[in-house]
Structure 1
């Protein structure tokens, strides 16, 4: 697979703003570990190899367990995720593939049991962010692993 265009060079102003938006996640009220799960699950759902590769490596660098990484796609059946993590994964899925009639009240209420209003707002922005990154990286066929050195992802020890 060859990259189609380099969107970072072609639209540097937009790329800079997207980076700023993503960097703001570091101030999120939601734990970093959960944000990694969100990024990985949305990337799996969207089929974004570049983002999936990058976020798995980031999660591994930040101490995420390998088995949990393997179980993200089967989180409903897995016993490895807390109720709070399950709520984040459910929220990620519903916002990544919006149902025809919006987010069901039942799901919203279940997620609200785990997250404050601020946390849920921050979580929603994180889901928005990863979905935007997925779409641009899929559109322009960014090659998985191609930014490992630039992003310091070689530390993950995955090849």
Structure 2
């Protein structure tokens, strides 16, 4: 397998803007672990091996137990995620797959039980940022260890 292109070398301004979005997300107040769970779950849905590898490693470095990483794709079927995390994971799935059903009111209300409007918007932005990264990585055929 070969990478189609090094997107950062080909269009450094795009990479710069994406990194600025990442910087914003790291400073917006969203919990680091929650953001990494968003990143990993969206990457699983999108089938982005590069990002799945990166974010599972990041979660490990943050001290997340292996079972929480391994069981993320079946989060509904295990009690190891809090109701708060489950609300965020449901939101992540709905926004990542937005063309299927939009964002159902039930998920919006589930999230709002745990988060205020500002936090909700930060999570929407976080989901959009990782979906953009996934699309860049998949389109340029990035894979774990390619750089």
Q: Give 5+ residue unaligned stretches, structure 2.
A: none
Partner of 1:96: 96
Residues 54-133 of structure 1: matches in 2 within 5 Å?
54-133=54-133
Q: CA deviation at 1:101?
A: 5.0
TM superposition shift of 1:144: 0.9
The SS at the match of 2:114 is coil
Matched position secondary structure for 1:122 = helix
Normalised TM-score (structure 2): 0.96
Shift of 1:146: 3.0
Within a 5 Å distance, the mapping from 1:7-22 to structure 2 comes to 7-22=7-22
Q: How many residues align?
A: 147
CA distances 1:35-86 after superposition (whole Å, capped 9, x unpaired): 1110000000000000000000011111111110011001000110001100
TM-score using structure 1 length: 0.89
The answer as to whether partners of 1:39 and 1:55 remain within 8 angstroms in 2 is yes
3-state SS of paired residue (2:76)? coil
Question: Is the 1:54–1:145 Cα contact (8 Å) retained in structure 2?
Answer: no
Instruction: Report what 1:38 is aligned to.
Output: 38
> Which structure shows the higher helix fraction?
2
Alignment partners' CA distance in 2, 1:76 and 1:146: 33
Q: In structure 2, what is the Cα distance between the partners aligned to 1:58 and 1:40?
A: 10
Where does structure 1 lack aligned partners over 5 or more consecutive residues?
A: 148-159
